[in-house]
Structure 1
Amino acid sequence: RRRQFRIPLAMIYFGLAYVHLRNGRTETAVPYARQSVEILEPLNTWQLFLDQGERARVVCRALLDAGEESPFVAEVMRRLPASSGVEVVAADTAVRVQCLGQFRVFAGEEEVTQAQWVSTKARDMLAYFVTFRRQRIPLEKATADIWPEQDQPGRAFHSALYRLRQALRRGDGKTKFVQVKSGEYWLDGAQFQIDVDEFETAVAAAARAPQEEAAQWRQKAIALYGGAYMNNLLYYDWVDAERQRLEEKYLQLLAAAAADEAQSGNYGAALELINRAIQRDALRENFYCLAMEYYAAAHDRSGLLRCYQRLTQELQEAFGLPPSPHTEQRYRQLLSRV
């Protein structure tokens, strides 16, 4: 708290409150929940609670039952979607889903294998509902997206759904993982821990936090980004939009983190970060401009020359065009100083 790392501290208090509530220790949970709210309420960062979904409902209800009259808690409860009626599972029994990089699924400590999926379509169906986890999907749309080559894929859909549930089945086997009502299907989000949610929580926290704390959140988000979204499912069009959206967030994080390092005079670290962004998008001219600024600040003339030469080559090969006049002018200004 003294060093202004308030948001991570608040979420630790939130986590402790939830764990104590799960274990029936309401008298110790409520003080932790109050401390979390006391930190976040002045910052108006109720979105951090909303990102916790049903866990936030559990914690906020405990506060309300304890007589807490907080506008923050009231706002969180107002904005939370209607309860699914499904109890939130403890973290150690949730299904853990990795989407950043290869799509992988873990039940407990064990990865769900191809033999357990039986059919690749069962795994792909889970990837689909994870991608659209905030929507209710009509059967017709889901089948058209997952089986675009089939005219009547209804039987294949229900077969894959059965195999999905069997692959994830634990305990009494009553959990459905994908819910259905009136012909619409949706992911039972309370049963899953998804790395994208953790990544986006860190991104959102960075956007709201003071500068020093924001830099810490950006570094956490960068560390969480394990690669392009579901990069082993390149054969589905419905993955593309989410992949591009998250990749853009990651690129902007790299640029912002590079600026953090440059502001502290750590030009080597700034260049490492911005060059990672360039490696992922070699045609983003503004990234080269940032890199040239950092090379110049580090008095690295050869690095500055190489950076501009690479930009020129990439643009020529892709579009047959030179860098913009503004970029060329800035390059010559920097070159004259180094």
Structure 2
Amino acid sequence: MPTTAVTEHPTAAALGRQERDVLAAVGCGLRDDEIAAALAIPEDAVAERLARVLAQLGLRDREAAIVHAFDCGLVVPGHGPRTQPVRPRPWTTGGPAAGPTVRISLLGPPQAWQDGRPLDLGHPRRQAVLAVLALCAGRVISRQQLLDDVWGMESPAANVVPVYIYRLRKALRVGDGPDSVIEYARRGYRLVSGAVDVDVARMEELVTGIRAADRAGEPAESVRLCAQALELFRGEPLAGLPGPWAELERLRLTERRIAILRRKLEWQLRLGQDAEAIAELFALFAAHPLNEPVAAMLMRALHRNDRQADALTVFDRVCHRLADDLGVPPSRMLRRTHRAILSGDEPGLGPAPSAGRARARRQGTATPG
């Protein structure tokens, strides 16, 4: 197997060719089985050679070997030692057939569990590396992409990604064996297919179900699925994670939550569940006071329930926030909703109900029409 030219270093010079090959492969974050396949040697020979490397270089563990492989020039960022493809290690504990044993939650502060036991994911940068892998749906993510996504314009040490992958593999190890949910493939990393259950993927499955229920004209089912999707959110998505990728994903997932909640509330209003919908709309409006579609929905719901004064107060509050925070006037949509309320109409939800009909709806009864 060809090796990268070795920078003159007293400890690196003490290694033989076989040991240098193993150290270079370890520096790329490969497992023993992956190294064995790449070097065409038995797996137990890998462990023996690595033990000799650690002893000759005075390194305490595999993690220190990863750092040393970069420091002495055996590994160049973006270049791996593999000369032939490596098949992933068979899933021996749990595995896809038995269902995922590792659950990862990103719709809030990042957390992970193995068979119900919480796992220590380390500091936020390491969590961010795992989050990138978890949200990329099995795609191979290169070391350079991880550096760009998690560190942005910063310039961390070149060996930081393999070190983080090594530590994450230890944290996410399945059972007592060497298997991990992270595999190396084509000079990059990815989560083993079917090995991990990510809450974001579950949320997207529910969104697909919501759309199907909408098309089938099943509003109650749509509301139920929306509620299930919203229960997956435990706060701000990817809370506390650094880097440009996390910031963009945080915005995307927050908008996703708002869209799901708006869909649920729209159906609740059409089903006559006004009291519940208005309470949630007020909470949503308080959390996102510059979101004009949310403000317009709240105004229409209040108008439907003979609360025109409250609806106009919401409009005034939005106008002041838009002017003070953004220096812009209300949108055409919000102004149109305001005019409709002043004229006694209700665009999008039909004419305003009479006082008796509104009271009956709030009490859950019907009046003859």
TM-score over 0.5 (shorter chain)? yes
Question: Which residue of structure 1 aligns with residue 265 of structure 2?
Answer: 258
Question: Which residue of structure 1 aligns with residue 163 of structure 2?
Answer: 159
The one-character-per-residue Cα deviations of 1:42-101 (angstroms, maximum 9, x if unpaired) are xxxxxxxxxxxxxxxxxxxxxxxxxxxxxxxxxxxxxxxxx997540534x611111011
Q: What does 1:292-303 correspond to in 2, within 5 Å?
A: 292-303=299-310
Q: Residue 213 in 1 paired to residue 221 in 2?
A: yes
Amino acid across the alignment from 2:270: Q
RMSD: 2.6
Distance 1:112 1:132 in 2: 21
1:186 maps to which of 186, 190, 206: 190
Residue 278 and residue 94 in structure 1: after superposition, are their counterparts in 2 closer, same or farther (change >3 A)? same
Q: Secondary structure at the match of 2:194?
A: helix
Give the unaligned 5+ runs of structure 2: 1-87, 345-351, 353-369
Residue 84 and residue 332 in structure 1: after superposition, are their counterparts in 2 closer, same or farther (change >3 A)? farther
Given that 1:278 and 1:287 are in contact with CA atoms closer than 8 Å, whether structure 2 keeps it comes out as yes
- Structure number with larger C-alpha Rg: 2
Distance 1:208 1:186 in 2: 31
Question: Which residue of structure 2 aligns with residue 168 of structure 1?
Answer: 172
Amino acid across the alignment from 2:128: D
Distance 2:142 2:331 in 1: 47
1:123 maps to which of 122, 127, 148: 127
Give the unaligned 5+ runs of structure 1: 1-82
Given that 1:112 and 1:168 are in contact with CA atoms closer than 8 Å, whether structure 2 keeps it comes out as yes
Q: How many residues of Structure 1 are paired with residues of Structure 2 in the alignment?
A: 250
- Structure number with the higher helix fraction is 1
Q: Percent identity?
A: 22
Question: Which residue of structure 2 aligns with residue 109 of structure 1?
Answer: 116
Given that 1:99 and 1:195 are in contact with CA atoms closer than 8 Å, whether structure 2 keeps it comes out as yes
Q: What does 1:1-338 correspond to in 2, within 5 Å?
A: 86=91, 87-88=95-96, 90-91=98-99, 94-113=101-120, 117=122, 121-148=125-152, 149-150=154-155, 152-153=157-158, 155-209=159-213, 210=216, 211=218, 212-233=220-241, 235-324=242-331, 327-337=334-344
Given that 1:255 and 1:277 are in contact with CA atoms closer than 8 Å, whether structure 2 keeps it comes out as no
Residue 305 and residue 178 in structure 1: after superposition, are their counterparts in 2 closer, same or farther (change >3 A)? same
Amino acid across the alignment from 1:334: I
Given that 1:296 and 1:335 are in contact with CA atoms closer than 8 Å, whether structure 2 keeps it comes out as no
Distance 1:253 1:240 in 2: 20
Distance 1:136 1:325 in 2: 44
Amino acid across the alignment from 2:337: R
Q: Secondary structure at the match of 1:193?
A: strand
Given that 1:312 and 1:323 are in contact with CA atoms closer than 8 Å, whether structure 2 keeps it comes out as yes
